[in-house]
Amino acid sequence: MSKRIGPAPANATYPVWAWYLWAGPEAPCPDLRYRSTRESAENGGAAVLLTLEVPDDHVVLTDYEAWHHVINYWYLGSARETSEFDGRCKAAGLSYYHTKPLANRELHAEIQTSWQKIIGKDGCKCLTTKAEREASWPTIQATFWELRPEYVRQAVWFQRTGPSRRLSLPARNDRPTFASADLGDA
C-alpha cells in the first residue's frame, strides 16, 4: 500500500477499509435493504453508512474475492498458470499450501508478483472465464490511510431493524480529521 499511495501518516496504525464497488454498477455501495448490511449495526445499537469520495492518489483498489489469495499466501493466476506454478513448486519439493513463505526465493517472489493482478477497479480477470465475468460484477475494496472530513459526501444512520435517516454534515472546514488509530474500536 505504501508503494502505491505513500507511507502511513505518523498517527495511522492501520489503513481504513471501504467498499468501492459492492455489487456491480447497479449496486455500487452497500444497500440498507440487505440484511447483511444492517447486521453491521450491533444488536440494539446503531451504525452509520458513509458515502466517501477519496482522491485516486490516496486510495488502493483491490479485488475483494482475489484478496483471499494474498491472505492465504496462494499463487494467483489462470488455471493454466497456476498448474504450471504448482508443477515448479512440486519439482522443487515445495507446496505453498503447507509452507509459508516458500524457502525458494524465486518461487516466493513469483507468488508475491502474482498478487499484483488484484489491484485496480476492474477486478481480477484471471479467476474466471469470460462467461463468468459477463454474468457477474467484481467486488472491489478500497483502502486508504486517513478518513478526512472532505471525503465524506453523505452519512446515513441506521439500526438492524427500522428506519434509517440521513445525517446533516457540518460545514467542510468545521470537520475534524481522523486517522485509523483515532478510531479505536469504532
Secondary structure, 3-state, 153-170:
EEEEEEECCCCCEEECCC
Helix axes of 79-91 and 105-114: crossing angle, nearest 10 degrees: 170
The reported pLDDT for the residue numbered 177 is 53
The total number of structural domains in the chain stands at 2
Q: What are the cell numbers at 58?
A: 490516496
pLDDT per residue over 117-157, tens digit each?
888 876 666 665 555 555 566 788 899 999 999 999 999 88
Q: How far apart are CA 34 and CA 90, in angstroms?
A: 44
**Do 69 and 26 lie in a common domain?**
no
153 lies in some domain: yes
pLDDT per residue over 81-90, tens digit each?
999 999 999 9
Which residue range is the domain that position 92 belongs to? 65-121
160 lies in some domain: yes
**Do 171 and 181 lie in a common domain?**
yes
